[in-house]
Structure formats: structure tokens, C-alpha cells
Amino acid sequence: MDHKNLFEGIKVLAVARQIAAPFATYQLAMHGAEVITVDNPKEIDSMRLVAGAGAGLHKHAMSHSFMAQAANKKSMQLDLSMAKGQEIFRRLAADSDVVVENLVTGGMAKFGLTYNDLKKVNPRLIYCSLTGYGQTGPNARRAAIDGAVQAASGLMSLSGTRETGPMKVGFLMADYATGYAAALGIVSALYYRAVTGEGQYIDCAMLDTAMTMAGADLCEAATTGNYKGLRGNGDGRYISNIFKCREGLLSVAATTESRRARFWRAIGRLDIPQDPRFCTPDVVAQNYPALCVEIERTLQQKTALEWEEIVSDAGVAAMAVRDLHQAMENPQIVHRGLMHRFPFDTELGYAVCVPKAPYQLSKTGAHIHSPPPRVGQHTDEILRRIGFDESQIRELHSTGVVEALPRPQ
């Protein structure tokens, strides 16, 4: 085994749309697993056509929302509503280690492709289902998207201010977190199989995952019956907020006495903790807006990036608020090599750039070796591998089992 490809030889078969399931399989693909994504010939994954994609990206159904978690994968078109498509899927599953699907609960049962169906042809199979609310319970068959899950999970009750009311996080937090949760479940099941030889079923729910993302607040609410609600950029603790500087914004978190002392020294305001309005946590809670005014009055003397250096060097967590362009140019991110850029693609009109794994292993690191696939790019290759000859492949195309969709215009 190549030490750089931990999951080399592991085969993953994915009926995975939107974000969470593709993101889960992306984690395996970066470590050498072969991931075959099964695309529906009749209905293209909407994530490939997200509004706002550039002309070349949209024409080739290669939106940024799709490509962000599609590198290293293969795309196969296969109509699972047709008996022949189901037969081909079973043949693929018989030779796979993992099946991942995120259809609405009960979706795979319509095709006779559930875990109980497929373990008959492959007892060692690991089968992971990702849904909004799980496979059981009163909401099991309800459709879900990230915003709805953020609402149901209570996360929105933590975001926003009294003026704005509850707000969702500005990115697809529940989707991406669920992808990580599913990947961990799959890796755990692979380890269990390595020890026992047995496969198993994984039921992964976005709602469960989203609630665990607020673990401390959830624990407080469940234990004491209380928790801090809408808190905006600051929650009323001694110093935990975003402050205006001469140029830009600075996020500061000095939530311990020692860090607060270092912060006052760093900004030259040793007078603040002596002020009767701010000398104890109780009075700070009563005068928090005034405290923020005092801090910002001093921070107006320099830019956010200048204060970032000063306050961080003093041992206090402080960072300038960056947009995504500035974040990618951060020397720390550049040093870590988080982003992978492919060569310029003349058809797409872009040099596609995707994020890699956010962790670095000394012996089995994640690697990017191939760009996100076009729709159905590997269909014929995969069919040949499982024994179809050219005439049979032509017939599958002619009957619509694997017929390609017209490219978006």
C-alpha cells in the first residue's frame, strides 16, 4: 500500500447529491478511495447548476457548489428507476466497500437497493444513509435543506441580535458538518470491518449533527433549563466581540482574567479595569455597550491588521475580519497549502481551485490527483470494468439506462 493513499483499494459507490453526502465521500477520495458518483440521466444534480456560476461552468454543469467536493471522483450516469440500472448498481455494490446515499428516506427502497437488499450480495458492505432527520421518527420522510435544519436544531436561536431576530449562518453549516459526521461514521465502520470482517449500516441525520455543533449550549439548556440566546457578535462576556478599527474590524476573545490583563496592556488601556463601570464581571454585564465604546475609541488609532499583530503577540486571541479573498491570501493559509489549483481549463474558462482536507497527517496525508468530473465522464469506463462489451454499452445508451443529458446552455 502506498503510504500516501490510506484508502487505496477502497471502492465507494455514491448516490449523492447536494452537499452533505458528496462532502462525506470527498474525505475518502482525498485519501485514495475510488469514489463513483451515480448521476441520474433524467435529472441532473442541482448543485451542478447553482445560479451564479460563470458561463463556462454553467454550460458544462460544473458549478462551484459541485466542484468544491468533487475532485478525485468519477461520474457515472445510471437510471436506477429501470430494472437494468438496478442490476448494474447491484453488480457495482457487490464489488464495493461502501455505499453512500442521500435520497429522501425510503428512496432507495423503491429501487430494491437498501442495505438489507445489498448485503445479500455483499455481506461486508458498509452502507451510509444521510438524510435531514434520520431513517426513523415522525419527521423521517420530510425533505430537508440546510436552512430548515438550522431552524429545527435551535442554532438560529443563537445567531442574530434582538433587533434582527434569529438568523441562519451564512454558509451551509449543517450540510458540511453532516458530511464530516458521515465520513467519521464510515471510517469507524471500516475499522470495525477490519477487525471483525463485518459490514454495517450507518444512519446519519443533519438535525442530529447540527444540534451537536452547539454542544455547550445544548448541554446547558438540557442541564439547567437556561442558555444564552441571540448574542450577535458579542454575548455580553467580558471581552468577546468584533470591534471597529481605523480600518477594518477586529475580533477579540479575551474571556479569562489573564488574557484580559494582557489585552489591556497591549492596547495601552490599563485604566479600563480600574473604571467602576468595568471592574467586575457583574458591572461589565450592565455596562457592556459602554465598554465596547471605550475599546473602539482606542482601536481607532490603528488598522485591524496592525492590532492583530499587536494583540496576538500579547497572547490574546485576535484576528482581523477577512473576506474569503483575504482569507485565502493569508500567509498562514498559503503556508498550510489548504487550496489546490488545477491547470487552466479552456472549456470552463477557469483554473479551478478547491479546498483540501483541513488536517495534515504525517504519513497518510490527503491528496488531490484529478479534477472534478464532467457529467457521466466515466460511465463507459466503469461499464467495461464490470464486464460490458461495446455493443452492450451502446444498447444501454440507446435504451436510456445510461443516456447522457444534453449539456446546459
Q: What is the pLDDT of residues 54-101, one digit of tens each?
A: 777 888 889 999 999 999 999 999 999 999 999 999 999 999 999 999
Tell which residue, 208, 117, 145, 141, has the closest CA to residue 17.
145
Q: What is the pLDDT of residues 367-399, one digit of tens each?
A: 999 999 999 999 999 999 999 999 999 999 999
3-class SS of residue 202: strand
pLDDT given at position 4: 65
Q: What is the pLDDT of residues 340-370, one digit of tens each?
A: 999 999 888 899 999 999 999 888 888 999 9
Share above pLDDT 90 across residues of the chain, in percent, rounded to a whole number: 71
Tell which residue, 263, 261, 248, 240, has the closest CA to residue 311.
263
Pairing status of strand 160-161 against strand 165-166? antiparallel
Please give the single-letter amino acid code of residue 180: Y
**Which has more pLDDT, 5 or 47?**
47
Q: What is the pLDDT of residues 284-331, one digit of tens each?
A: 888 888 999 999 999 999 999 999 999 999 999 999 999 999 999 999
Q: For 89, how many CA atoms within 13 A lie in the half-sphere containing its CB?
A: 32
CA distance 181 to 202: 11
pLDDT given at position 404: 59
User: Above 90 in pLDDT, residue 243?
Assistant: yes
CA distance 181 to 185: 6
Q: What is the pTM of this model?
A: 0.91
User: Above 60 in pLDDT, residue 405?
Assistant: no
List the strands of the sheet with 200-205, edge to edge.
Answer: 73-77, 34-39, 11-15, 98-101, 126-131, 200-205
How many residues are recorded in the chain?
A: 409
Average pLDDT, the chain: 91
How confident is residue 1, by pLDDT bands cut at 50, 70 and 90?
Answer: very low
Contact 70, 77 (CB under 8 A): no
